[in-house]
Amino acid sequence: MAAMQKLLAIDSHTAGEPTRVVLSGFPDLGRGSLADRCALFRERFDHWRSAVACEPRGSDTVVGALLQEPVDPRCCTGVIFFNNVGYLGMCGHGTIGLIRTLAHLGRIGPGEHLIETPVGVVGVVLHDDGRVSIDNVESYRARAGVAVDVPGHGSVVGDVAWGGNWFFITGQSPVPLDLAHEPELTAYTLAVQRAIDAAGIRGGDSGVIDHVEVSGRAPDGSGARNFVMCPGGAYDRSPCGTGTSAKLACLAADRALAEGEVWVQQGILGSAFECSYRKGTRGVLPRITGQAWITASTEILIDADDPFAWGIGAKRP
């Protein structure tokens, strides 16, 4: 029997969306910038991503967070976020899960901290009650009122905005934004995603738009609600930190939300993030507050003899 590879990880969920923080056992990605290390991870070690995030160990909802030594000594950690299909520049719910995990391990206490990601340094506050606030990367709207023809749905109009990932945000929804309509919302947002790709619509600097957000009101009248389709084909169970940041940028650009005003953003489970923004140089500097809960402390074992050791459908090393 071949020796098994071992990884240590802590699982949590933020407002319903899972995060798996990988603490140790990963190949060395060197001491380059987090963006360089993410590129190396993608080019040479992608099977480690699929081993952690894909079935049978993971699922299309899991966001992995690989801990890294930060380059910037002010940061308490570096992190690379990934999922079942690739890599995320930044992840809001994942950052809240990461901070909750570091607190669970006794590595940080309440107060202000910085973390380094491939798209920049992000400030966080761990509150005494366990809630976490993220001062996300500067977010902005790149294009307003972009129309795309979606088969079966006609013309769908939305904004293209950056919140640490690229989003197409539309207010058009064929059904109410609730859990009962999740299958229809999933089919709709996947159709919008295909139409965006087919039309060659891109974000700033030709960035790939890989998240589709439907933005509206909760059917029970309790406030703003969204449905966010992630690149791996699963919807975000949380209100999506980067999607909410992109939404704040659009609200600010439309003068529909003032600097410092509180915006409570629900996802379709009804779980919520409390948000506000400060003005930035290009867009807004969002603050997103939410809560995560620890769900498991895991030793991941990778057995070389297992045909699905590196994930179903994944390339073996």
Catalytic center residues: 91, 240
Shortest separation between residue 248's beta carbon and ligand PYC, angstroms: 13
Specify the pairing of strand 120-126 against strand 77-82. unpaired
Q: Rounded to whole angstroms, how far apart are CA atoms 91 and 64? A: 10
Cβ nearer to ligand PYC, comparing 65 with 67:
65
Residue of 283, 295, 165 lying closest to 229 (CA atoms): 165
Q: Rounded to whole angstroms, how far apart are CA atoms 133 and 126? A: 7
Cβ nearer to ligand PYC, comparing 158 with 239:
239
Categorise residue 200: left if φ over 0, alpha if ψ from -120 to 50, beta otherwise.
left
Cβ nearer to ligand PYC, comparing 92 with 118:
92
Q: Rounded to whole angstroms, how far apart are CA atoms 158 and 199? A: 14
Enumerate the β-bridge partners of residue 6: 301
Phi, psi of 259 (to 5 degrees): -55, 130
Which amino acid does the sequence have at 287? R
Enumerate the β-bridge partners of residue 65: 21, 81
Cβ nearer to ligand PYC, comparing 88 with 150:
88
Q: Which token pair is 268? A: 């379709």
Cβ distance 94 to 88 under 8 Å? yes
Hey, CA dihedral for 257, 262, 265, 270, is it positive or negative? negative
Hey, how many other C-beta atoms are within 10 angstroms of the C-beta on 36?
Answer: 14
Which residues of the chain form contacts with ligand PYC (CB under 6 A)? 17, 63, 88, 91-93, 230, 236, 238, 240-242
Cβ nearer to ligand PYC, comparing 70 with 286:
286
